A and B are shown apart, each in its own frame.
Chain A
Amino acid sequence: MIRDFVETDLSAEEIGDLLTMTGFELEEITEEEGEPVLDVNIMANRGDGASVFGMARELLAKHPAAKPTELYKKSLNRHPASDVSAPDAASKTSVTLETPNCTRYACRIFEDVENGESPEWLQKRLRQIGQRPISLLVDLTNYVMMEQGQPLHAFDMDKLSEGRIVVKQAKDGDPFTTLDDAEHKLTADNMMICDGSGPVAVAGVMGGLETEVSATTKNCLLESAHFVNTSVRKTRKQLNLFTEASYRFERHVDPEGVVAALNRFAELYAECTGKSHVPGVVDVYPIKPTSARVTVRMDRANRILGMDVPLQDATAYLTRLGYEVTSEGSTITAQIPSWRIDVVQEEDLIEEIGRVHGFDKIPSRLPEGQTDIGGMVNQEKFTNHLHEEALRCGLDQMLSHSMRGKHPLDTDKPAIELRTPHSPEIAFLRTSLLPCLADAAVKNGGKNLHLYEYGHVFDAEKESINIALLVTGVNQSEHWGHKASSTADFYTAKGLVERLAESGNVSISVSPDSADTRLHPTRQASVLTSAGPAGVIGEIHPDIADQLGFTEPVIVAELDLEQLYSVSADHREPRSISRNPSIRRDIAFVIDKSTPYSDVQAVIEKAGGPVLEKNWLFDTYDGRGIEPGQHSLAVALQLRKVGENFTDEEANQVRDSIVSELEAIGAKLR
C-alpha cells in the first residue's frame, strides 16, 4: 500500500530502515500472499503515523529522492469531491452535537447498497495486514482507516431511530451492547453516538450490535468524526474495549481529515460497485482546532542538537513534513499541521529538524565543564563498603524480589500491600531480607550455605536499606585433604556482624536483651549502637526452621545500614605500637554459667589496665570435675609495655590482680 503513495526503487527493507530512522521503528517484515508486509511501531504521541498516508509522509520527508504518487497528492489535498455541499444528504438525516468531546461529526449516506463480499484485491489487502474481511461496507471502512488514519463507522440507516444522529455523554447506569455482543454499564464519562431514541455506538471505540450493517442492509449512514483523545481513552479503559478506532483516537486523529475519509470511501465504493452515493456531506464542525505557530531559532537548534543543520535544509524538512514555514534571519516560524498536536514548543521543532537531518550525523563529544568527583558518596559509599566486606568474609551475594508473599520470617510490622496484586506471591513489599535469604537457602539445598543480601525493605513508617546474612553448615566444599574445621553457629554470625561493623568503623555491642519471635528464644541477640538498636542476630526459631524444611541450625542476622551509617566514624583512631616484646599469661577459672562472658571480660580489662594489650577466651569446659551450672574458662592475657620489657614478676603481678578481681565476681582459679 505504501507504494500507492510513494514511487520509489527502495526495497521493503530499505523503506523499513528509513522509517525506523524517522522514529517509526520497524518491528519485522513478513511475507503475506507474496508481498512484504512491514510491522511498524507507532510512538505514543504520533497518531498521524497510524496510517499508510502518514507513513508515506515520513518516508518522503526523510528520502526526497522518492516521488509522491497521485494518490498521495490527493490525500494531501484531502480528497476534494465536487458534491460535498450538495443538500441531498442533509435532507435525509441530521447531526446534533451535545458534548464538547466531539469537535466534528460528518456523514455520508449510501442508498440501495448490496453489502456482499468485497472484491478480491480488497479482501487480500485486509488479510495481508491481519484483518478478517467481513462485508464490503465494513471492509471499506477498515481499509480507508488503514490508508488515511481516520476511523469510520457504517450504520444500518434503517435501524437508526428517526434516521438521525445525536452525540452526547451517557447517563450513569445506561446499559449498552457493543457489536461484539458484550453488555456494558455506561457512565457519564462515556461519549455515545445516539439515534432518535438512544445510544447506537460508543463514540470512537465500537459500534452497537443493533445498528450494525449486515447482508440485508439497504441503506447506510457512514460516520466520520473527530473525538477528543482523552475522552476516548477514558471510555476505552472503563469498558476495557481496545479497538483499531480507539487506538487512533487516543493518539489523536487529524480533525481536518474527517470529510476527506468520507470522500475516499465514496470513491472506493464507486470503484468497487459502480454505484454512486447520495450527494452531499452532513458536516457539523463547531470546534475548530486552534492552529499554533511555533518559532525555532536555528542557532539554538544547532546548539541543542550538537550539529550544524543549514537553515534552508531545516526549512525544507519542515515543509516536507507539512508545516507551513516562514523564515527571518536564522529564525523559522512554522504553522503546526492539524495532525500534529504533539508539537507545541521550540524543542519539538528542534527534534523534527534533527530527526529528518539524521540523528546519526550527530558527532560524539565528551561532556565539558566543571564537575565534582563522581561516584558514590555518603551512605551509598558506606553500603558498598560493607557489601565488599561481606564478599571478603566468604558470603555469596543474593538479590531477591522486593515484592513477595508472606513468610514466617517477616517482621511483626504490617507489610505494605499492593493495591491490586496480580498474584499472592508478589502481593507485599518485603519487611525484612530474612525471608528472601531463607528462600534462597531452601532453593540451594538448605545446607552448607553462607549467603547475604543488601537491599531495600519497607514498612508503614519508612523504606530502609538493610544488609542481612544467613549461615548454616560449613563454608567449604568437601575436600579430600582439608577437612572443614567447624560448622556455622551463632558465633559465626556474630563474628561476621562484628567484622562488618568494624570494617565500616562502627562501634556495636551485642546484647542478650532480645525477644524476636522469629528466632530461637535463647539463641538470639540484639545489635546496639550509640544511636540505638540496629539489628538482630540469632538462630532461626526451631519451629520455623522445621516449617521451612531446614534440618540443621540456620543462623541469620540483619542490620539497618542507615542506622549503622549514622554512627560510623570516618576512620578508626590508630594507636602507636610498642617495639618491646609481649609476654603471655594464661588463666583458667571456674565461674557460674549465668555470669555473662561480657561481664568477665569487662573485669579482666579493667583490672589489667593499659598493659593488658589483648585478651582472648581460648577454651571452655564443663565436664567432669566441674559443678553443674558452672564452667571453666581459659583466658589468654597478652601483656606489653611501651619503652621497657615486662619482667616475669611484673607479669605475674598483673595476672594476680586480674585473678583477684575475678574472684570478687565469684570465679575460682583452677
Chain B
Amino acid sequence: MQRIAEVEEKAVAAISAAASTDELKLLDQQYLGKKGELTGLMRLIGTLPPEDKPQFGGAVNKAKARLQGVLDARVESLKGGERAAQYEKERIDVTLPGLTPQAGREHVLQLAINRIHAVLGTMGFEYAEGPELEDFKYNFDWLNYPEDHPAMDEQDTFYITDDTLLRTQGTAVQGRVFEIEKPPLRHYSIGRTFRNETVDRTHAHTFFQVDCFMVDEGVSMAHLKGTLDTLASAMFGDEAKVRFRPDFFPFVEPGVDYAISTPKLFGGKWVELGGAGMIHPNILRRAGIDTEKYSGFAFGLGVERIPMMAWGIDDLRNFLENDQRFLEQFG
C-alpha cells in the first residue's frame, strides 16, 4: 500500500514539473499506460493474501483516478499557452487580396431581361419568341399599317427583299401568335429589333424590345395600367408611377405613350418607356376574334431603357460592344 502512495507522489511531482503537453503524454504512458508504473502495481495483487486483494485493487484504481485527474488538469492548463503560441505562428494578413471565384458574368441587358421574365412570367404571361428576320406581313400588314406608311421606307427599315426585313418592332410576334392561338391569351416576347439609324450615344440600329399583350373578355386600359404599374414597381421600386399620354401607333386604338416617374430616380421627372394601348380592332378581326366579346391590350418596352434609367448608363453603344470594362460593372 505504501508503494502505491510512493508511486503516486512521484507521478504528481513529475506532472507538476512538466513544461509541455508532449511531456505529459509521456508521463501518462509512464504511470497510467498499459505498462505504466501504477498500472504495473496491479500485477503485485497476485502475491497478496486473498483477504487483502480487494482493498489493494481498490487503492490502485483510486490512485489511478486521482492521477488521471491531476494529469488532465495539467494538460488543460498547459494547452492554453501552447495553442496561443501556435495561433500566433499561424497568423495571416486578412487584408491580402482574396481569390475571385470563376463564375461567369451575365450581360447587363440579360440582367434586365431576367427581371422582366420574373415579373411577366409570374403574372401569367407566356413567353413566345419570333424571328429577327421577319416577314413583311407580320411586321407591317398584320399590325394594321396603311399601305404606304413612312415606317416602311427603305431609309427606316433594313430590307433583305420586298417580303423580308429585320423586324422593326417586337410587336411582329403578335400576328404569329394570333395565327395559332385563340383567347384568352397572355403573351410576351423579348428580342432584338432593328431600325435604320445612324449610331451615336443616343441612337442605335439594334435594340431589344419587350412586347406584351393579352386578349380576354373585358380587358380594359385599367388592366393595361395595372400591369404596367406592377412592372414599373418591380423595375424601379414601389414608388414608381405610370402615366398615360395619348399617342399614335397603327396597331393600337386607343393608343398611348407611357412614362414612369419615381421620386428616387430621374429627379422625379416623367420618363417615357414605350408605347401601349388597346389592340386595334382591325387586328383582332383579322385574327378572327369577336371584338364585341373580346378586347386586348398591348405594350412595348425598350429593354435598354431599364439599365439606362436605373443605373444611369448614358451611351447606347456600350450595350453590344462587349467591352468587359463596361460589362463587369453589372454582371
Contact = CB atoms under 8 A, between A and B. Distances in A.
B260 to A, nearest CB: 13
B103 A392 contact: yes
Contacts of B281: 345-347
A346 B242 CA distance: 26
A403 B295 contact: no
Contacts of B103: 391-392, 394
Given A22-B246, A46-B248, A367-B219, A402 B226 contact: no
Nearest to A43: B248
Given A368-B218, A377-B126, A420-B159, A444 B225 contact: no
B254 A350 contact: yes
Interface in A480-538: 480-482
A429 interface: yes
Given A365-B225, A367-B227, A463 B105 contact: no
Interface in A313-365: 342, 345-348, 350-351, 354-355, 359-360, 362-365
A369 interface: yes
Nearest to A240: B155
A103 B107 CA distance: 56
A377 B127 contact: yes
B40 interface: no
A306 B124 contact: no
| Interface-central residue, A46, A365, A426, by most chain B CB under 10 Å | A365
B224 to A, nearest CB: 8
A246 to B, nearest CB: 12
Contacts of A377: 126-127
Contacts of B198: 422
Interface in A354-395: 354-355, 359-360, 362-377, 380, 387, 390-395
B104 A233 contact: no
Interface string B227-239: 1011000000000
A458 interface: yes
Contact of B229 (A45, A364, A387, A416): A364
Given A44-B150, A46-B248, A369-B217, A475 B184 contact: no
Nearest to A451: B322
A29 to B, nearest CB: 15
B62 interface: no
B226 A21 contact: no
B140 to A, nearest CB: 14
B324 A347 contact: no
A396 B221 contact: no
B81 interface: no
A460 to B, nearest CB: 10
Contacts of B153: 237
Contacts of A230: 147-148
A439 interface: yes
B305 interface: no
Given A363-B225, A367-B214, A463-B132, A399 B322 contact: yes
Interface in B113-134: 117, 120-129, 131-133
A655 B214 CA distance: 65
A419 B136 CA distance: 14
B331 A396 contact: yes
Nearest to B322: A440
A20 interface: yes
Interface residues of A, number: 87
A347 B254 contact: yes
A665 interface: no
B205 to A, nearest CB: 7
Nearest to B187: A374
A292 interface: no
Given A363-B225, A366-B227, A418 B160 contact: yes
Given A364-B229, A393-B104, A450-B104, A374 B109 contact: no
B99 interface: yes
Contacts of A369: 184, 216-218
Interface in A600-641: none
B107 A372 contact: no
A358 B3 CA distance: 110
B253 interface: yes
A233 B148 contact: yes
A46 B247 CA distance: 10
| Interface-central residue, B128, B149, B154, B324, by most chain A CB under 10 Å | B324
Contacts of A346: 281
A143 B99 CA distance: 72
B133 A398 contact: no
B303 to A, nearest CB: 11
A113 interface: no
B243 A365 contact: no
| Interface-central residue, A363, A369, A373, by most chain B CB under 10 Å | A369
A303 B198 CA distance: 43
A369 B186 CA distance: 11
B102 A354 contact: no
Nearest to B214: A367
A362 B99 CA distance: 54
Nearest to B208: A399
Given A396-B324, A402-B192, A452 B104 contact: yes
A348 to B, nearest CB: 6
20 contacts: A44-B150, A234-B148, A305-B220, A350-B254, A351-B253, A351-B255, A366-B230, A372-B186, A374-B122, A375-B121, A396-B104, A396-B331, A399-B109, A399-B319, A402-B132, A436-B322, A458-B133, A476-B100, A480-B96, A481-B96
Interface of A: 20-23, 25, 43-46, 230, 233-234, 237, 250, 303-307, 342, 345-348, 350-351, 354-355, 359-360, 362-377, 380, 387, 390-403, 416-420, 422, 426, 429, 436, 439-440, 443-444, 450, 452, 456, 458, 463, 475-477, 479-482
Shortest Cβ-Cβ A-B pairs, 8 listed: A306-B222, A375-B121, A371-B124, A306-B220, A23-B246, A351-B254, A359-B244, A394-B102
Given A351-B246, A456-B132, 16 more contacts: A23-B246, A25-B245, A304-B254, A306-B225, A348-B253, A351-B255, A359-B221, A365-B220, A366-B223, A371-B184, A396-B331, A397-B104, A397-B331, A399-B322, A402-B192, A482-B99
